Each structure stands twice: as C-alpha cells, then as structure tokens.
Amino acid sequence: MFLTASTSHGTRTRRRVSWIATAAVGASLVLTGVASVPAAVADTPATLTGIILGVGADQSQRIVTWYSSADTAQTVQLAPTSAVTGGQFPASATTFSASGTANIASSGGFNRHATITGLAENTAYSYRVGSDGNWSNTYSFKTQSFEGDYDFLFFGDPQIGSSGNLAKDQAGWQDTMNVAVGANPNAELLVSGGDQVETANTESHWDSFLAPDQLRQYPWVATIGNHDVGGKAYEQHLYTPNTDRSGAYYRKGSGSIGTESGGDYWFMYKDVLYIDLNSNSYATSQGGGGDDAHISYVTDVVNKHGADAKYTVLVYHHAIYSPADHAKDADNKIRRTDFPTAFSKLGVDLVLQGHDHSYSRSYEIKNGSKANADEKPGQDEVFEGPGGVVYVTANSASGSKYYDITSPDNSGTSGAGNGADPLNPANYWYNSVQNQEHVRSYVKVQVKKDQLIVQNIRSGTCDAPNAAVELKKVLWCGPENGSKPAEAVGTIQDEVTIHPNHGDGQDIQVDVPTSAPGEFGWTINGHNGLVDMGTAQEKNLQYFEATGQINPITVTDTRANTSPWSVSASVGDFADDGKTFKGSFLGWSPKVVTAGAGAVAGAAVKSGYDGGDGLSVSRLLGAAPVGHDRSAGVVGADLDLKIPNTVEKGSYRATLTLTALAG
C-alpha cells in the first residue's frame, strides 16, 4: 500500500502493493483440451509407468507426467468422476495431447507429459493416460474452491535409497504420505523440499518414490535437490509449469542442459505466488549463472506477478538457515550472503528449504540479520515488518537419513556467520527453533486471509518404518537426544503464526458471494491488519454492497507554528487474479474518532455506483486549520462499497494510498 507524507523537510514516499478480496459470481467452467491423436499401431501395447500428478500454472490446471515403453501418440483422458460408470469414460471425456522425448536415463523408454486445463472448482475428476485400447489404470483428484483459505503440505528429502535399503525407505515414505494426507485430506498441494531420490538416474529409486498413490491424487510441487541434479530423470519424471530452462539455471550452464536437470519455475495458486529455484546452480565458476541469475529470475517474476499475489513463497533445496551437518557448508554460506537481502526487498513472506535432514524455523530475518531483537526463541506468533522473512527447513519425510544438530561457532551473528543465539546459545543465531528427534515429520502450512500458520508434525515414531533407526545409522531416537520417549504420530513439534506485513498503507478486503450473501466483518488491530469488509450482500437483485471501516489514523501535531495539515486518500482498482472492478465503486464517510490536533473530518463521498468517481480520485479524510491545538487526534472513515452484481466471484484487494501534507 502507499503512504505519501509531505512536510517542511520534503516529501517522503513509501510503496507497497496489495489487494482487496471480492466474491465471484459462480459460473460454470468449460473444460478445454486438444483432441486426442490416434495412437500409432504397435505390435506390443506400450507399458505406462511412473504416473504422477503435478501442479499446473494455476488452480485450474494440473500436469500429468509418465513413462512409456513405446514412442506412440498418447493423451490424458479426463472426465468428472460422476460421469465415469463401471470404469468407462463417457464420450464427452476431454483429452489432452501429450508431448515428450526419448529418455536419457538408464531405463530407456520415453517420457510423456500433458497439461490439463479448464478445471472447474469443487469437482471430483477421474483421469487415465495412454491411447485407445491401451489405457493406464484410472486415478482421481478433486478441486476445491478457487478462492479463500487452504492448506498445503511440505516434505523434506525423501531421498529414497539413501539408507541402503530401498524397501525400508519406501515404507517410511509411504507411511508419511498415509499419515499426512490421511490427517489432511483437503490439503491442496504437496510441496517438495528436493532430493526425491538418492541417485539421479537410478530408476528403482524413482519407482519407490512414486509408489504412493497420493502422488496421483494430489498435485506434487517438485523441487530439485543435489541428489536429483546429476541426470535427466528428474526432468523426465517431474514436468513443471512456467519453467525457464536457460543455461543460467543449470549447475554447469548450457553445456549441462542435455545431461543434467535444472531450471527455475513459478506458478500462482489461489493468490499465492510460488517460485521454485534450482539451488544447485549457485556459483558462476561452475558454468551456470549462479545466485545472481536466480535473484534476477525472482525479481522478474515478482515484478510481473507479485501484484496479483497475497503472499510470496520461495522453495529451493539448499537451506541457508538450518541447524545440522550442512549449516556451515561453504556453498550455503555463499547463498546466505547472496539471497536474504534480495528476498527482503522483494517482499517474500516464507521460504521453504530442505537438504539438512533436520527441522528448523528461523527468526524473522531482514537483509541477512535478525529483524526483531525482541523476538524470543520458539515464539509462536510473528508480525513481519517490512522486509521480514521466515525460513523453514524440513526434516526427512521418509526416515532414510537424518543429520544431527551441530554447534555454533564464533563466526558471527549475521550474514554468513554461524555464531550462537544470544538468547539460546545452543542454537545458531538465526534459528528460533531447531529440532532433531530421528523421527519422520512433515510441515503443514495453513494459508489464511491474513496469516500463515506453519506446523512441524510428526509422521512416525522410533518404531518401524524408520530406516535410519532400524539400520542403526543413528545412535538414539526421541526428543532431547533420546532422553525422552518418542511422541505420538500426529503431534505438533513446532507451530508459528506469521502475520504478513501490510506496509504503510491499508489493505482492504471484501468477499463477494456466488448468490445470497452471508455475514460480513472487518479486522482492526494494532499491527495495521487487513481491512476486511467481509462478504458483500446482494441488494434489490441489482448490486452487491459491503461496509467496513479503515484502520483509524492518529495525527500528532505539536509544532509551535500550528500550521494546517491534511490527510487525503485514493484507492486503485480492485483485482483478483486477472479479474477487476473499479475503485470508484468505493465511497466513505470520514469521522473524528478522537478529538485532537484540530482534526475536522472531510466530506462524505458516495460510491461511484450512484454516480461520480468515489475514492478513485484523492479525497480529504481529515484536516486542521492554522492555529489548531498542539496535540494528537484520530481520524477514521466508514467505508461503503457498491458494485454491480455482474462482478465475478472472487477475493479482491485494492490499495488505499494515503497522503499527509503539513504546511
């Protein structure tokens, strides 16, 4: 949001982009696709394996990837589950043509992928891959509302095969999937921390990783790890949307594009911007573009798409703030110097990491240093200030490998340093929470209207399946270095509520319903919370209306010359993922909340729905004449939003720009 204040010392401007939520009018979405190409006739039907459901460019898309033993024309066939009878797809089923190439991996064969588009919300779908007469088994997934709150699950380093016992690694991975999805059946994304497998091109490792059926039912958000990068199997198995596969995003530059995996990608899911980086490419000396290339990529994506997002989440493998074996790695110290300031400047809210096979949650970090000296270890609520970012590292989701927590040194408490936390000397300076119990876990993130809730949840105990413990790769198991018995599956090891920064302006949100409106409300707090206008109500079958109040503004003026002052504001258009309506539909009635500083309320401004420009042009909120008393006053305003009932359903946000002038 914007705040512009002019004083006798000049004009100072600070800017933050944000949104206002509206409700869309429900409209049926039409599935679109490409007619299937008849499969080539082959003597032997193609064997179809490795099917995985991936995330698409937005909530209305999914990408399906698989392996084929034959180089034939293939498709994804899709239909609402309600229309599939006795395993038979209806004639109206939609098909999406697949692309792919010959595999560059030890397994041979071919890879295929197809993007499903035009999905409708709140719908169960069934799909299969292949061609007429040669279809795979049928799998199902469901979409949920394309607006509002949702949960996603984050998994650290399955690294199937790393224990040396493939069956035990697969069993632990399968059990974590069963526990996590079983406890959270409405989770909408499964996010990877990297290192799907131990050895990049060993297909038996990939077969075990892909064994859980949940990977065909929930979209997998792939992340490349250092154990995935050394061959092409990662790219062949996990096709990703909006991917830039330029040489700069490969570890060894363009020369490795044909032999290694790489690339950076992004997608938007329900107003959250996700950016996923190949952190294996970090130094130009290797041949790639290094961290500078990633920073340029993130900057470009945020500049182009950040205005459409309520939160920005980054994902990459190599944790720059973690507590175990990799905490002091030279390459991570480089990333820890390169990344944080850029992420702070770009308004990133949350960073998800893997690689260190242990759990940690950082303090609020700004420009490579602890942002708030008063934040306590393990604090369960964080109000991010401008540039504040929280970094989370996930432990092993399969139990194939754990790293023990290491000790701080005297290398400093900012930047690349690994010094001790003055408030908790056993921890690194950057970590609010560190944990290693040698039990499997996953991270649940709840995306809410004005907060992110992050939980580290145990998915196993010291008992099997837990390969590293079973094979005595570790010497103990349980909390506090094994001095306490393991906690139960499903218990929460760590939880924090992250409140995003709203800048110096005020974000306003309203939900417009599909039909009959429900309740409406607003949020007012001391941390400049979201101005929530609730769910609009339909009036006279002609327009939607919502009301609320801006967060009050305190004006303090103790100047000896008691010169006049004024506070004005205007609002931009309301937007939600490409949908908009005019800011002129917002009006207000200014008021003096607390007398002082000579404050006088500005004139009421009607919604432009009734004619006029509403708040789309600058309007006076409050002012004081010359000679006013030297004190503080509080001004506010009641908001009145009227919009045509043809506005699409959605959660829209707009930015109120405040301008303070002092004579």
> pLDDT (tens digit, 9 = 90+) per residue, 496-506?
999 999 888 88
At 514 the pLDDT is 64
At 111 the pLDDT is 97
Using one digit for the tens of pLDDT, what is the confidence trace for 459-488? 999 999 999 999 999 999 999 999 999 999
At 512 the pLDDT is 77
Average pLDDT along the chain: 90
Query: Peptide bond before 465: cis, by omega within 30 degrees of 0?
Result: yes
**Does pLDDT of 100 surpass 80?**
yes
**Does pLDDT of 518 surpass 60?**
no
106 band by pLDDT with thresholds 50, 70 and 90:
confident
| Percentage of the chain modeled with pLDDT above 90 | 81
What's the one-letter identity of residue 651? S
Using one digit for the tens of pLDDT, what is the confidence trace for 73-88? 999 999 999 999 999 9
At 11 the pLDDT is 31
At 19 the pLDDT is 26
Mean pLDDT of 322-343: 97
15 band by pLDDT with thresholds 50, 70 and 90:
very low
560 band by pLDDT with thresholds 50, 70 and 90:
confident
Using one digit for the tens of pLDDT, what is the confidence trace for 415-425? 999 999 999 99
Instruction: Count the helix, strand and coil residues of the chain and give each as a percent rounded to the nearest 5.
Output: 15, 35, 50
**Does pLDDT of 254 surpass 50?**
yes
The DSSP code sequence of 309-334 is: -SEEEEEEEE-SS-SSTTTT-HHHHH
Kind of pairing, strands 311-318 and 350-354? parallel
**Does pLDDT of 7 surpass 70?**
no
- Of residues 7 and 116, more confidence is placed in 116
**Does pLDDT of 37 surpass 60?**
no
Ramachandran quadrant class, 83 (left: phi over 0; alpha: psi -120 to 50; beta: rest): alpha
At 462 the pLDDT is 98
At 32 the pLDDT is 31
Residue spans of the domains in the chain: they are 43-147, 148-499, 520-662
φ and ψ of 27, to 5 deg: -135, 140
- Of residues 125 and 660, more confidence is placed in 125
185 contacts: CB under 8 Å, gap ≥ 6: none
Tell me which CATH code domain 520-662 carries: 2.60.40
Mean pLDDT of 513-526: 39
C-alpha to C-alpha distance for 234 and 220, rounded to whole angstroms: 13
C-alpha to C-alpha distance for 195 and 533, rounded to whole angstroms: 43
43-147 and 148-499 in the same fold: no
Tell me which CATH code domain 148-499 carries: 3.60.21.10
Instruction: Kindly report the number of other CB atoms within 10 A of residue 57's CB atom.
Output: 18
Which two tokens mark 118? 């035009």
Burial 608-641 (b: 16+ CB within 10 A, else e): bbeeebbbbeebebbbbeeebeeeebbbbbebbb
Lowest mean pLDDT among 50-59, 610-619, 653-662: 653-662
What's the one-letter identity of residue 333? K
- Of residues 556 and 178, more confidence is placed in 178
Burial 355-384 (b: 16+ CB within 10 A, else e): bbbbbbbbbbbbbbbbbbeebeeebeebbb
**Does pLDDT of 22 surpass 50?**
no
Q: Which CATH superfamily is domain 43-147 in?
A: Purple acid phosphatase-like, N-terminal (2.60.40.380)
The pTM (predicted TM-score) of the whole model is 0.85
Mean pLDDT of 245-252: 97
At 362 the pLDDT is 98
